[in-house]
Amino acid sequence: MKNKYVNFLTDEHLLSCIGNLHKAYLKAKNNITKKKFYTNKVDTIKLTFDAKFNDIDEESLIQSEILRQIDKSINNSIGTFHEQILGGIKGFEVGNLSGFDIKANDNTLFADIKNKHNTMNSSAAEALFQKLARYADDNKKAKCYWVQILAKKSFCELWSGDINGKEYSHSRVYKISGDQFYNLLSGKQDALFQLYKALPKAIKDYLNSIENSCEELENSAIDEIKSKVKVSKRSILDQITFENYSFYLGFDTL
């Protein structure tokens, strides 16, 4: 039976991956409480500039900041989505916290997947190269890849060069763009493009299949802050600043 969405992956697996990502979205955005919102200290000095320079009212500004925190969490889940998609291609599997993200069933390929090309500092890059080199040394037929799903260009090349002041190279350690890696595993040159084109329909089909079956909790952070504002008579931004920095010199007078 012909696949409905892409020709390198079963429809069931694609919908399952979409479902897992949907759950991650719900978890990230459901019931963002004031306590969660304050987990990482809110930069109210930056928010003051944002409000004045961009002419944004304080409530809209805080809603945007909450969405920014949600987006930061979701970015990690997008990388996991690609791992699950690629691990569903015949002959490959997901690492599941084994030290690699994707491997070939016959141990001829190991890969570490980053969603964006610029997500590592030099120390992280050095550690990644050393890890991939160890996989290559331990598996003499293996090629090992640093995968950049969103890269600056389409490429597949040996990864060599200066990292943290040391020269690194290995005959079987590569870096590769997302389109080339999808092509490598699937044997389809346009595999990543196929996924991109299929996603709107597949997501729609998935959402229709679970309609009304999952309850979304309301984000409560802004309402909790506004309830405090009613009592304190502070502005929303002053209230957040007071609740985050009242222990700073002078800030308890807000």
Check residue 215 and give its pLDDT: 55
- What confidence score (pLDDT) does residue 28 get? 83
Q: How confident is the model at residue 16, as a pLDDT?
A: 96
pLDDT score of 160: 92
Tell me how far apart the alpha carbons of residues 28 and 219 are, in angstroms, rounded to a whole number: 10
- Assign residue 31 a region (left: φ > 0; alpha: ψ between -120 and 50; beta: otherwise): left
Q: What are the tokens at 65?
A: 């900041």
What integer pLDDT is reported at residue 138 of this predicted model? 95
- Local structure of 226: helix, strand or coil: helix
Q: Which two tokens stand for residue 226?
A: 């506004």
> What does each of the 254 residues of the chain score in pLDDT, given as a tens digit?
688 999 999 999 999 999 999 999 888 877 688 888 898 889 999 999 999 999 999 999 998 888 888 888 788 899 999 999 999 999 999 987 678 999 999 999 999 999 887 778 889 999 999 999 999 999 999 999 999 999 999 999 999 988 888 899 999 999 999 999 999 999 999 999 999 999 999 999 999 998 765 555 567 888 899 999 999 999 999 999 999 999 999 999 98
pLDDT of residue 193: 97
Provide the pLDDT for residue 65: 87
Using alpha carbons only, what angle is made at residue 102 by residues 96 and 108, rounded to the nearest 5 degrees? 130
pTM equals 0.83
Contact criterion met (CB below 8 Å) for 236 and 229: yes
Give the tokens for residue 214: 């999952």
Structure tokens at 145: 């890849």
